[in-house]
Amino acid sequence: MEKVLAYLRTSTDKQDLNNQKLEILEYARQTGIHIEDFIGSAISSQRSDHDLRLDELLTRLGKGDTLVVKELSRLGRSTGQVINLINQLMDNGIRIMIIKQKLVLDTTQDGVQSLTMITMLALFAELERVMISRRTKQALAAKKAQGIALGKPKGTIQQSIYDKDRKRIVQLL
């Protein structure tokens, strides 16, 4: 029986997977598919495939199964990562549904046309990340050149994860 899994990934652990999950559930409702399970990773995509739970994803999906993702960039940080993963999935006979780009990729389609489209979309996503990073660095450099102090003001006291243990720490010291 065909299995449908959804993959969720954020770039940092400070971001939330719920927005992606809600969009995928709405897409599933509209298209009449049933998502069996969600595999999520809320860590940097610089980490290993194990940390990103891609190995679990590949283990749980088999020929004829379907993977649903919110957008192409959730499959990897670079064009190469995305293309490699998609090739692996397609070689295993797994259909891929990409909601934002409105793509459904499976082995019955023309492989060259699909690969070209995926390469272009992944490249655009990677270029967008590079441009955002560049603009952020330029804005910070401009503020610094204007003499504006960056970061927290000196003397700022913020909460610490150790505040709850302060008495014990003082006692041990």
43 contact partners, CB below 8 Å, separation of at least 6: 10, 12, 13, 51, 52
Cα angle value 24/125/69 (rounded, 5°): 20
- Tell me, rounded to whole angstroms, the distance of Cα 43 from its chain centroid: 8
CB of 150 closer than 8 Å to CB of 144: yes
The H or E element spanning position 54 is helix 54-60
Q: Measured between alpha carbons, how far is 72 from 28 in angstroms, rounded to an integer?
A: 17
Out of 11, 41, 78, 133, which one is annotated catalytic?
A: 11
**133 classed as catalytic:** no
- Catalytic residue annotation: 11
